[in-house]
Amino acid sequence: MAMTADAAQTIWLGLVIGNTRLHWAAFSDQQWLGTWHTDHLSAEQVRHLMATQFAPESWQGIAGSHPPEIARPPKTVWLAAVVPKQRDLWRGHAQVQEVALDCLPLTSLYSTLGIDRALALLGAGSTYGWPILVIDGGTALTLTAGDRPPGAETGCFAGGAILPGLSLQVRALPAQTEALPEIFLPDSLPPRWANTTVEAIQSGIIHTVIGGLQDYLQDWCQQHPQGQVIFTGGDGDRLLAYLTESASFNANTTHKNDPVASCFRVDENLVFWGLRAYRNQLKGC
């Protein structure tokens, strides 16, 4: 079934190239039409998608979820990438508009800040207000903070942190050792003091990551008691579930009432809200 889109509105795609997957969204001007994810593409697949104007049949043979049916071809593709080899496959196509870090309506950005982190911060601040902390549970687990100083028209990057993500840590141990088995991430917190090898790996990875996040969150909540925390990325909902389950998290946070219910939430589309905000203001750059 085709997604609803006014004939007078412009259809456009957002494409964020991550370390392991491509993340897509379709918009009709400001209206979000849907999100999907695919594996990285070959040069031939990119050329085919562009030549067929992203027609439904052009996605056949591409691994991953497929887009909703859209009433007409997109006019542009707004691209943000952290993988140069994948990014370069899209360059040179007239329909593709690449996001420039120095054109984002954010201040205090440093030149090597990941464009995905910056867009997620912009999307979070534009949607939920400032101050804001984004925790992205992707291949890399990143914390990205932002605020808007009094009288300022735009948000300000306020620092952050990067560490290996949960799924990356899970894959790394069996890949780099002879005896340790492959494991999975459980739905709930594993026992801290484990009695099997699988649970010991789960405990070591999950409890150290959650303990570190609790420390960052306690500091953030003390500095910004009215601030919000948004989880995103493939493991974003899992991280929030682990934190919610952890008794020490609920005991140590400084937010009043129920901290998880009041200021912590999951939004898988932050980076696309950032792309939309970037597109809206680009003419002024």
Amino acid (1-letter code) at residue 93: H
**Considering the domain boundaries, does residue 277 fall inside one?**
no
Residue 283 lies in a domain: no
User: Cβ(9)–Cβ(26) under 8 Å?
Assistant: no
Work out how many domains the chain is built from and give that number. Answer: 2
User: What is the extent of the structural domain holding 52?
Assistant: 11-98
Instruction: Tell me which of 98, 129, 157 is where a domain ends.
Output: 98
Residues of the chain with pLDDT under 70: 1-8, 247-262, 283-285
Question: Which CATH number characterizes residue 180's domain?
Answer: 3.30.420.40
CA-wise closest residue to 141 among 8, 243, 221: 243
In a domain, 243, yes or no: yes
Alpha carbons 52 and 59: distance in angstroms, whole number: 10
Q: What is the pLDDT of residue 255?
A: 53
At 78, is the secondary structure helix, strand, or coil? strand
DSSP-assigned letters across all residues of 188-247:
SPPPSS-SSHHHHHHHHHHHHHHHHHHHHHHHHHHH-TT-EEEEESTTHHHHHHHHHH-H
The tens digit of pLDDT for each residue in 19-38 reads: 999 999 999 999 999 999 99
Tell me if 60 sits within 8 A of 77, measured CB to CB.
no
Express each pLDDT in 141-165 by its tens digit: 999 999 999 999 999 999 999 999 9
State residue 53's pLDDT score.
Answer: 94
Q: In the annotation, is 116 catalytic?
A: yes
Does some domain include residue 284?
no
Instruction: Note the pLDDT of residue 261.
Output: 42
- Whether the Cβ atoms of residue 101 and residue 118 lie closer than 8 Å to each other: yes
Upper half-sphere CA count for residue 56 (Cβ side, 13 Å): 8
H-helix or E-strand spanning residue 171: helix 166-176
- The string of pLDDT tens digits covering residues 240-264 is 999 999 866 665 654 544 444 457 9
pLDDT of residue 69: 82
Answer with the one of 98, 114, 148 that is the final residue of a domain.
Answer: 98
pTM across the whole model: 0.91
* 62 within domain boundaries: yes
The pLDDT value given to residue 66: 84
Query: ∠ at Cα 242 (239, 244), nearest 5°?
Result: 105
Q: Which of 71, 98, 125 is the last residue of a domain?
A: 98
Burial of 181 (0-12, 13-18, 19+ CB in 10 A): exposed
93 & 228 share domain: no
Report how far apart the first and last C-alpha atoms of the chain are (Å, whole number): 38
- Let me know whether 45 and 156 are in one domain: no
Tokens, residue 242: 């682990």
Rounded distance, CA 231 to CA 124, Å? Answer: 10
Distance of CA 277 to the CA centre of its chain: 15
- Domain match, 21 and 138 both: no
How confident is the model at residue 2, as a pLDDT?
A: 41
- The active-site residue out of 29, 39, 88, 116 is 116
- 254 and 225 Cβ atoms separated by less than 8 Å: yes
